[in-house]
Structure 1
Amino acid sequence: MCGICGVVDVSGAGRANLGMVQRMCAAIRHRGPDGDGFYAPSGDQNVALGMRRLSIIDIAGSDQPLYNEDRTIALVFNGEIYNYKELRRELRSKAHAFRTDGDGETIIHLYEEYGFKLFDHLRGMYGFALWDTQRKRLLVAVDHIGMKPLYLWEHGGLLHFASEVKAFNETAELNLDVLDTYLSFGYMIGADTLFKGVQRLPAGHYLVAENGTTRIEEHWRFGVGTAIDLRADDEQGWITRARDLLTESVNLHMRSDVPVGLFLSGGVDSASVLALMRPQAESIETFTVGYDAKTPDNELIHARKIAAHFHTTHHERVINAEDWWNGFQRYVYHHDEPNPNPPAVSLMLLAEETAKRVKVVLTGLGGDELFGGYMAHAAIPQILRAQNSWGRMLRGFAQPLLRLERYYPMMKRYRGIGALPTYLPRLTQSLLPRDEGLRRLQSFDGLVLTDTLRGELYGANLQAAWDAAHHKETTYAGIVDRSLAPDAYNFAQALVINTWLAGNALLNCDKVTMAHSLEARVPFFDPVLLNFAARVPSAIRMQRNKYVLREAMRPLLPAFALARPKQPFGTPILNWFRADLAERIQAVLLDDGAGIRDLFERPALETLLRAHFDGSAPQVEVVFRLLTLETWLKTFTKERVPVSRSCQRCLRSCKHR
């Protein structure tokens, strides 16, 4: 596990240099405090690679860069290849010679053997860069599901890549064209980021730079894979196979030369991972985060019961509003991209404590995505059916319903009509065209941001950028096309994976753990298990919340763990934003030097904040998105948001200034 970075001169002008990459590595030292390594061949100034190492497997022998037998291929690698032992045996039988006992070297020999088909053989999480000296080719890739992100920045013929954007410290300029997408979803969908010119390499894709050009290709897609040799009506067969594959995946994910712990919540997902870890380890350390405030469903209590049942050495991190606020400031820096996710801040604080005891933790992330645990897994097929039946005939009622959204925050205060904001958006989504209705569902449009609020809040430049770019609309439409499947439930599953998971949950998992040099592993996202989950018949999968997972784990989990209903990972942030942290939030957002002054209308912002903090129209999600954006601007940009010369002229003359 590491952080990697590098530069290739696509133009061939020989401008890549070691010093540049050394500076990039220094910015991500926290990802790998155990050492560094660099590749900058003296005879070729067109490439330079670097890495920071967190030693997990073959601690003494797998320093990077890694090479093939004749050193014509060099590799820097971040992640773990869990089936490396099996791959080494296979590759040795094909006459490949290994210099290390680690997992990363398998990538080089798979490339020699299979070329760009190497990805079909990997079971792991990875971001890597491989330089082929004979072909003058750079291959940069991320794993099938995007557990180990890589960012790309091409500037003046130089292609930079890195595990974190902060390695590109020259690029801190806001990408105004995509800001509405962030404000709408609370995270970025697609490849673009809020850093102008910087993109994330999409999950399941690789980039090739050679012959003066770059191209990006897909190597994995959810739902595309081998068939499963089970009948559609063999419910017990599917359940048994799920348990077998989960067991295999957890066993692979426990391969390590250092102790392995577990992030334990009170839910069935992490409890399942723990149950499968237990036979493989004499002792297990588990870690849970909680709060010193009253929450509707306290994770600490449930996690303690599960830890006691499996006799783990259990640790807790209990935080208050002050802890959370201080952690939030660091979270924005470490996450790179603005991401208003309250539990992720808490998880980063837990990772800080966990890293004092272990270097590796397994997590329960992924149970919902694989086995139909989210509201969207049922709601998306329902909306599609409604759109295709009565929704088309009644489409004229959509606009009047959209105009009601501005009143939703106020409605929530009143008995009788307070439930309408929960139900009316679903009705509206059913009356809209497919892509627009689904996009509003997944971004909670109407419940968080509304078109009316955008019109009041967005300044002239942001409004113009939104109108011109249509980024969220076009990007979401592309994601829909990539997610399409004949079965509506499979389509919903792919859509959640390609939006929420890729742009939010997996980035959070990587960033908050690596901030403290802690490796987080996700057994639910083994590609073999993902292929299986994509083929479980929806009639079986959707009987109840995570039905297949619960039934598969029934022989191994206590009844109280299985009986607990699906619960979101809650925080007391709603109360903190109204009380403990209210003054600080207002001070940040209303400061005369705030970067968002160039983006939003001051009177509308003041009205929104006043209504939120006096309780007349609470909008904690909107406030959190604005707070995260402002903190990000202060962290990654200079005093004001950089804008183009034409925008500067517009600002000087604009009446909204």
Structure 2
Amino acid sequence: MCGIFGAVNSGLSNEQLMKAGKSLQHRGPDEIGLYIDQHVALGSQRLKIVGIESGKQPFFSDDKGIKLVFNGEIYNYQILKKELESAGYHFRLNCEGEVLLHLYEEYKMDMFCRIDGQFALAIYDAEEEKLYIGRDSVGICPAYFLIQGSACYFASEIKALASMVQRKMEINPQSLYEQFTYWTTLEERSIFKDVCQVPKASYVEINSNGQYEIYQYQKFSDYDHSILFKNIEEIKEVIEKSMKEAISKRIMCDSGVKWGMYLSGGLDSTIIFKLLDSMDIKKFPIYSISFKRKGIDESAYQKLACSNQIQNYHVVEIDDNKLIDNIQNTLHHCEAPLYKFGAVPMYILSKEARKDGTKFVLSGEGADEIFYGYDIYKETLLRKYLSKNNYSEIRLKDIKHVVPPQNRNNKYMMQGYEQYYAASSVNLDDPLFCIRPRIEASSIIYKYFNEELRKEIDRENLDKAIKTHYKAENSLKMLKQCQKVEMDNLLAGYLLSIQGDRVLMANSVEGRYPFLDNELISLAYSIPDYLKLHGYNEKYILKETFSGILPKQIVRRNKFQYSTPGRELIHNKFEFFEEYLTKAACEECGLFDYKLVKDLLEDRNMAITTDMLLVFIVTTHMFYKIFQKWAG
């Protein structure tokens, strides 16, 4: 992986381009590559994993009319290389970038449908006088752009944009509302005014006048390959085979490159670990997080999962002081406020991996989306059931299945969940049906904005626009629609970005995700829904497939939500957070109503949404001070 950056029609100097590269050095400390002419400036900060000796960027066509920089891994580049050689292309280098360059020459923008990998790339075509920026289909690698007149700037991270344009970033209140309410800003919006992100599975075409169009090269329904299975045993065999192939692709690297894996103690990462063991791949480090707070600690399950490789096992224990010490750096790299402090331990963990010399890690993200592991899938079924039955007769019996195990014996929490589901909308035609309770609860943030900003936030039209966006594929069945929404919002907008790429690459570590293999996603799409969510038993077919190699305690374990303290940490360490919750902080940032923030701080209501809201407000104020320094 790398950090890419550049500009068209900007007049950037070599010194300015170098400065932008320095702001991304954490993404690629091994090598910097720069190119400038009268039309385009391109740069790359490279983390060397594949093509160590031959992969220096940028890449150029023979006549230098086409130029390319990219970030990521192309798992099928050797296959593509053979196809292109058969078409008459000649290769001087054995690296992914040269393959991508010729792929563009042969197929233009149809190239994206042929790539199997995780990537963000930028191509400047001098003959067309156009810049193209594209991203992978699930949204692992980031890409942003900013247009000023006819000049266009792009980068892997927003701080590099700020460096190039020499301009302070300004938060867009409507996007901030959207970020908290929907867990992401949709389409090309970012939380900053004028800064756009390239959506996943899309590319942007920018002409010499600074006008742009965004094109989606893959829709969610394209995963439907209509695979037919004879029986459950065949499904299990195909899942195991596909998982092994996905893992084999993702350990691709040059010799001498050290890699490892993250082990949470949950089902998904344990499957990856046990499959590596069955493939006789054993000599790699394992990295895990433990917590001093016992209610959120999973270390017992981590030890159970990797009992035969304990000698290469690294555990980072997290306490309140470590969280406090690392919040500022985490926010700098996440480039957004946090709803939870969950990204902070992940930042600390990647720091440990990098200290150990590891350049990339395998991780289990994606399994909950494609095999229906989250409670939201159960909630969707429950709410559909509630809409057709007498609520009072079934509430306790069924609601317990969607409440986290640690809360089921708390009568106050159970009453809160009952009230939550009783009050939630039951319009089954709503394309956002699955997250409607989350939207209704999270939209409380609106009243905390100051009076002036509330006038700028058009909630009704925003919701209509988002519903229209999802109605484009409204022929999807309810759980498939839920999967699409989760993959767009929670996965791409949070888990792979704020809690994934940003905190991994902050320490020059790349994340690779076997469960997000394109073929595996298509396979899971074709498996009947009842085999993924069997009653209220999540990831049923995944458990059945791997029950023979997994510890029984992990197979039978209820889904455990990765958690970190929020409000409790703020109150326990108030001397650290106090300056960000004062009237002066509210006035300096100019977003939130101090009186309401003060009331929120004093409110001891332990509701999940208010906990997230307090974390979001305090980290917004912290982040405000951080991004003010980027342009300098």
Q: Same fold (TM over 0.5)?
A: yes
Say yes or no: does 1:371 pair with 2:371: yes
Q: Residues 230-269 of structure 1 correspond to what in structure 2 (within 5 A)?
A: 230-231=228-229, 234-257=231-254, 258-269=257-268
Between the aligned residues of both structures, percent identity stands at: 25
DSSP 3-state at the match of 1:620: helix
* Aligned with 1:156 (options 149, 160, 163): 149
Unaligned runs of 5+ in 1: 392-411, 640-657
* Aligned with 1:587 (options 543, 565, 579): 579
Say yes or no: does 1:35 pair with 2:38: no
Match of 1:652 in 2: none
Quickly say closer, same or farther: Cα 1:381–1:107, change in 2 above 3 A. Answer: farther
Q: Residues 602-641 of structure 1 correspond to what in structure 2 (within 5 A)?
A: 602-612=594-604, 619-637=610-628
Match of 1:179 in 2: 176
DSSP 3-state at the match of 2:355: coil
State the one-letter code of the partner of 2:424. Q
Match of 2:402 in 1: none
State the one-letter code of the partner of 2:354. A
Quickly say closer, same or farther: Cα 1:478–1:3, change in 2 above 3 A. Answer: farther
DSSP 3-state at the match of 1:281: coil
Deviations along 1:545-577, whole A, 9 cap, x unmatched?
111222222233233332222111122445423
Counterpart CA distance in 1 for 2:152 and 2:289 is: 40
Counterpart CA distance in 1 for 2:76 and 2:283 is: 24
CA contact (8 A) 1:462 1:599 kept: yes
Match of 1:402 in 2: none
DSSP 3-state at the match of 1:534: helix
Unaligned runs of 5+ in 2: 391-406
Match of 1:473 in 2: 463
Q: Residues 472-551 of structure 1 correspond to what in structure 2 (within 5 A)?
A: 472-482=462-472, 484-507=474-497, 508-543=499-534, 544-551=537-544
Counterpart CA distance in 1 for 2:309 and 2:351 is: 24
DSSP 3-state at the match of 2:561: coil
Quickly say closer, same or farther: Cα 1:338–1:103, change in 2 above 3 A. Answer: same
Match of 1:600 in 2: 592
Quickly say closer, same or farther: Cα 1:306–1:76, change in 2 above 3 A. Answer: same
Deviations along 1:141-190, whole A, 9 cap, x unmatched?
00001100101111222111110000122241111232222343454344
Q: Residues 168-247 of structure 1 correspond to what in structure 2 (within 5 A)?
A: 168-169=161-162, 170-210=167-207, 212=209, 213-225=211-223, 227-231=225-229, 234-247=231-244
Deviations along 1:77-121, whole A, 9 cap, x unmatched?
100011222222222222221222222222112112222111122
CA contact (8 A) 1:222 1:534 kept: no
1:479: how far off? 4.1
Say yes or no: does 1:107 pair with 2:100: yes
Quickly say closer, same or farther: Cα 1:376–1:132, change in 2 above 3 A. Answer: same
Match of 1:434 in 2: 430
State the one-letter code of the partner of 2:454. Q
Counterpart CA distance in 1 for 2:410 and 2:227 is: 53
DSSP 3-state at the match of 1:346: helix
Match of 2:404 in 1: none
1:286: how far off? 0.2
DSSP 3-state at the match of 1:355: helix
Quickly say closer, same or farther: Cα 1:161–1:192, change in 2 above 3 A. Answer: same
Quickly say closer, same or farther: Cα 1:431–1:311, change in 2 above 3 A. Answer: closer
Quickly say closer, same or farther: Cα 1:253–1:166, change in 2 above 3 A. Answer: same
CA contact (8 A) 1:230 1:238 kept: no
Quickly say closer, same or farther: Cα 1:428–1:594, change in 2 above 3 A. Answer: closer
1:210: how far off? 3.1
Quickly say closer, same or farther: Cα 1:475–1:337, change in 2 above 3 A. Answer: farther
Counterpart CA distance in 1 for 2:270 and 2:478 is: 29
State the one-letter code of the partner of 1:256. C
Quickly say closer, same or farther: Cα 1:379–1:282, change in 2 above 3 A. Answer: closer
CA contact (8 A) 2:567 2:615 kept: no
1:483: how far off? 5.0
Deviations along 1:271-301, whole A, 9 cap, x unmatched?
11112223253401100011223224x2222
Counterpart CA distance in 2 for 1:636 and 1:621 is: 22
1:596: how far off? 6.2
Match of 1:313 in 2: 312
CA contact (8 A) 1:5 1:163 kept: yes
CA contact (8 A) 1:25 1:167 kept: yes
State the one-letter code of the partner of 2:603. A
State the one-letter code of the partner of 2:470. V
TM-score (norm 1): 0.85
TM-score (norm 2): 0.88
Match of 2:337 in 1: 338
Counterpart CA distance in 1 for 2:88 and 2:276 is: 35
Deviates more, 1:175-184 or 1:521-530: 175-184
Deviations along 1:278-336, whole A, 9 cap, x unmatched?
3253401100011223224x222211221213566100111211110121111110111
Counterpart CA distance in 2 for 1:481 and 1:578 is: 43
1:16: how far off? 5.2
Say yes or no: does 1:97 pair with 2:90: yes
Deviates more, 1:193-202 or 1:91-100: 91-100
State the one-letter code of the partner of 1:503. G
Say yes or no: does 1:461 pair with 2:459: no
Counterpart CA distance in 1 for 2:482 and 2:268 is: 20
Counterpart CA distance in 1 for 2:413 and 2:125 is: 62
Match of 2:420 in 1: 425
Match of 1:407 in 2: none
Counterpart CA distance in 1 for 2:608 and 2:81 is: 60
Deviations along 1:354-413, whole A, 9 cap, x unmatched?
1112111111111101100011223235545666x689xxxxxxxxxxxxxxxxxxxx9x
Quickly say closer, same or farther: Cα 1:348–1:478, change in 2 above 3 A. Answer: farther
CA contact (8 A) 2:579 2:585 kept: no
Match of 2:400 in 1: none
Counterpart CA distance in 2 for 1:636 and 1:478 is: 33
Quickly say closer, same or farther: Cα 1:121–1:475, change in 2 above 3 A. Answer: same
- Measured on the aligned residues, the alpha-carbon RMSD in Å equals 2.7
1:46: how far off? 2.2
Deviates more, 1:66-75 or 1:348-357: 66-75
Counterpart CA distance in 2 for 1:638 and 1:175 is: 18
State the 4+ residue runs in structure 1 displaced beyond 6 angstroms. 615-618
* Aligned with 1:136 (options 120, 129, 138): 129
